[in-house]
Copies of this chain bind each other. A is one copy, B any other.
Amino acid sequence: MNKEQFFINSIQNSKYNGDDGAFIDGYVYSMDAFFEDVHFKKDWFTLKQIAYKSMLVNISDAIAMNAKPKYALISIAIPKYYTNEDLQELANGFKKAAKDFDFEIIGGDTIENYKLDISITIISKTSKPIYRSGVKEGDYLCYTGKLGDSKKDLEALLSGKKIKKSSKFIKPVLKADFFYEASKYINASMDISDGLFLDLEKLSIASNIGFDIFRKIDDNIASSGEEYEILFSCSQKNLKKIEQIAKKHKTKLNFFAKAVKGSFRTNLSNHHFKN
């Protein structure tokens, strides 16, 4: 067991353990850290991009639970030498995310620190939360979009190369509209942050089920983290409806596995920068 899991087990109420957020009384509460030299290097992004991505990785959790972000709190630690222009750029990144996803920033804490460290809490609303534990035997497993580029772009950055401004590693592309509309046909879901196979393992544990992978998944696809695509399961009878909704929203779907008795474990390691 790694330290993160040890700490989570030591502290947390098991009732809320294991999902992207905690669902209580109509709201989903989720919190994620986005720390300099842990999740990103400062010269990889502009400050506005850092602020925007720090919000999006949080919003991604809300969407994967079928919840709409309503409010955000930001705890931000800022180096002393940052100018007012730097602060304005950060503020603009946060505000752009709030505008794009229609929520309000209602508070937080601002402190001085040695590096730029951001933690965000998102309060989102849902009438039908979708959990990781909902996969049923016979369900089809699917991920949205295209996987692999985040890993490729991270490797490029780590070897000192530049990447495109449009890279999903810089600006995640969340599939909110598709997923909210498709949600009534979805049995289980989570976002892909650690990599498809590692996240599939989490789904396996939460749903106590195995997966029969019927489509070849390249290692570069299976291990690409920080994709912020959605991994979900649905029953066969809803495949057509989900495909129609995906078509309407121009969202690519990749059905790749079927839920079967057993369990799924992977030897692939976490391909976040953070590890």
In the complex, what distance in Å separates the CA atom of A30 from the CA atom of B88? 23
* Residue A4 at the chain B interface, CB threshold 8 Å: yes
Candidates B24, B33, B113; contact of A38 at CB < 8 Å = B113
A7 touches B71 (CB 8 A): no
- Copies in the assembly, this chain: 2
CB neighbours of A84 from chain B (8 A): 3, 6
State A35–B118 Cα separation when bound (angstroms).
12
Contact assessment for B123 and A77 in the assembled complex, using a CB-CB cutoff below 8 Å: no
Q: Is the CB of A21 within 8 A of B74?
A: no
* Contact B13 A110, beta carbon cutoff 8 Å: no
* Distance of A106 from chain B, by nearest CB (Å): 4
Stretch at the interface among A90-98, A210-218, A227-235, A258-266: A90-98
A110-B35 in contact given A10-B87, A29-B71 (Cβ < 8 Å): no
Whether, in the assembled complex, A101 has its beta carbon less than 8 Å from a beta carbon of chain B, the answer is: no
Interface residue count for A (Cβ, 8 Å)? Answer: 54
- In the complex with contacts A75-B31, A75-B75, A12-B121 CB distance below 8 A: no
Closest chain B residue to A17 by CB distance? B107
User: Does any Cβ of B come within 8 Å of A104's Cβ?
Assistant: yes
Which of chain B's residues have a CB closer than 8 A to the CB of A78?
A: 3, 7
Minimum CB–CB distance from A27 to chain B (whole Å) comes to 9
In-complex Cβ contact of A11 among B8, B29, B33, B105 (8 A): B105
Q: Mark A57-80, 1 if CB is under 8 A from B, else 0.
A: 000000000000001011111100
Given contacts A22-B71, A77-B35, A87-B7, contact A30 B107 (CB under 8 A): yes
Known pairs A30-B73, A31-B73 / 9 extra A-B pairs, C-beta < 8 Å: A3-B84, A3-B87, A11-B91, A11-B105, A21-B107, A29-B107, A33-B111, A35-B111, A38-B113
